[in-house]
Amino acid sequence: MHRRAAKGALIVGVAATLVVAGCSSKSTDGGSSGGTSSDSSSSALSIQPQVLLDAQGSEVPTADVTDAVNPAGSGNATCSGVTLAMAGALTGPNAALGQNILYGAKLALDKHNQANPNCQVEMRQFDTEGDPQKATQVAPNIVGDQSVIGLLGPAFSGETKATGSIFNQAGLPFLTASATNPTLTENGWTTFFRGLGNDNSQGSVAAKYLTGTLDAKKVCVVQDDTDYGVGLAKVVTAELGAAADPGCAASVKSGQKDFSATVSQIKAAAPDAIWYSGYYAEAAPFVTQLREGGVTAPFSSGDGSNDPEFVKQAGSAAQDAVLTCPCIPAPPALAAEYQEFNGQAPGVYSVEGYDLTTIMLTAIDSGVKDRAGLLEFVKAYDGQGVGKRYQWNPQGELSNALIQIYKVN
């Protein structure tokens, strides 16, 4: 496939056969999960996109995108001395997420640089391992390089919270493809832009899906102890209203392996559904022990569990799990290009990494040469990406957040 895809060649749609092979969490906690099972039946299971919903929980019809911005541009761009950067987990237990974003960005960069010999843009990589402390160590190196006029990242909410003021004070636009904590846009940062819906929209849609599509009258909400898990559970619980049973609400810890007490609590409550706010490292053994304990209620979770490792570690216990994500699966044309270029299928947030990089490249092609120019460009931006339309409000939130429903089958 020719890498310089023409504008309009990418089709937005939720293809029934599209396998989300590279999904990943935003966790800063790692390690393998004990107490999980991975039987032969799990090899046939995968995380499949089902339906795309807007922030109100209404289905978004499939549409053909004919005006997606192409990172190749006109091919006549000229530039010199401008660089982009990417910050996120590129090694460590959660490296898959950072790699998904980076590989999407690299595809956009390759298309641009192939088409524009007089404007070769580099993206420098800064590995944070998803750790807020490590992110604060690399942030000064990013802002200290004046050739870096835009940052893709940080990837995780915790590291974004820890470093946002550094990037903001330096006037550096930072566009995240995956950090979803709602409070990030409440810090007064003027250079921060979120390339997807936050957990308020995800939690609201998840609750509507549980009580609407799944017709759940009683839901047990379980959360881990991370900022992400606690925040998402708070939204889901509030939106569930009377359907959230406080008698079976539970909290677990990062790294926990034994969920027997919580399983017993949920089994006694006999809920219609279970919502888990946390990451796949705990979600996998949790759902395994639920099934082993005789709990058959539908299991659902957010983007923190939306990772092939959840299926791999949970085995057949992951069957029919419902997972949400404020991200868009790669349309078939982009998926084919991504596979050819990177040697693997796109995953969660690959599309956002591609689109956000394209936006910054488009700014450079328009003549932007510094951080101030890029900031004004992004603030005023209104353009169609391959997965969604990008336009931000003054707080850096997208004007139209979309939530994808996935199912393990």
> So where are the chain's domains?
201-325
Of 113-122, 304-313, 390-399, the range with the lowest mean pLDDT is: 304-313
Q: Rounded to an integer, what distance in angstroms lies between the CA atom of residue 171 and that of residue 174?
A: 9
- DSSP letters along 198-254, please? -HHHHHHHHHHHHHTTS--S-EEEEE-SSHHHHHHHHHHHHHHGGGB-GGG-EE--T
- Higher per-residue pLDDT: 244 or 17: 244
* Res 24 pLDDT > 50: no
User: Given the structure tokens 């978004």, which residue do they identify?
Assistant: 60
Average pLDDT estimate for 179-188: 93
Count of beta carbons in the 10 Å neighbourhood of residue 317: 26
pLDDT digits (tens, 9 = 90+) for 53-96: 887 788 887 655 668 899 999 999 999 999 999 999 999 877 88
Average pLDDT estimate for 137-157: 97
Q: What angle do CA 46, 50, 54 make, to 5 degrees?
A: 135
pLDDT at 62: 61
Count of beta carbons in the 10 Å neighbourhood of residue 261: 10
pLDDT at 88: 96
pLDDT at 307: 80
Average pLDDT estimate for 110-127: 98
Average pLDDT estimate for 321-336: 92
Average pLDDT estimate for 122-149: 96
The candidate with the shortest Cα–Cα distance to 30, out of 98, 78, 94, is 94
The angle, 0 to 180 degrees and rounded to 10, between the axes of the packed helices 95-115 and 332-342 is 90
> How many residues are given for the chain?
409
The fold adopted by the segment(s) 201-325 is Rossmann fold (3.40.50)
**Assigned token pair, 46:** 């995968």
Average model confidence (pLDDT) across the chain? 88
pLDDT at 63: 58
Q: Rounded to an integer, what distance in angstroms lies between the CA atom of residue 133 and that of residue 172?
A: 20
**Assigned token pair, 63:** 């549409």
* Res 145 pLDDT > 90: yes
pLDDT at 34: 38
Of 88-102, 232-246, 352-366, 372-386, the range with the lowest mean pLDDT is: 88-102
Half-sphere exposure of 193 (CA within 13 A, CB side): 32
pLDDT at 7: 35
pLDDT at 163: 98
The candidate with the shortest Cα–Cα distance to 301, out of 220, 242, 194, 388, is 220
State whether residue 295 is helix, strand or coil: coil
Average pLDDT estimate for 177-201: 94
pLDDT at 281: 86
* Res 384 pLDDT > 90: yes
Of 21-25, 57-61, 348-352, the range with the lowest mean pLDDT is: 21-25
Q: Rounded to an integer, what distance in angstroms lies between the CA atom of residue 283 and that of residue 299?
A: 10
Of 1-10, 97-106, 125-134, 307-316, the range with the lowest mean pLDDT is: 1-10
Average pLDDT estimate for 189-212: 94
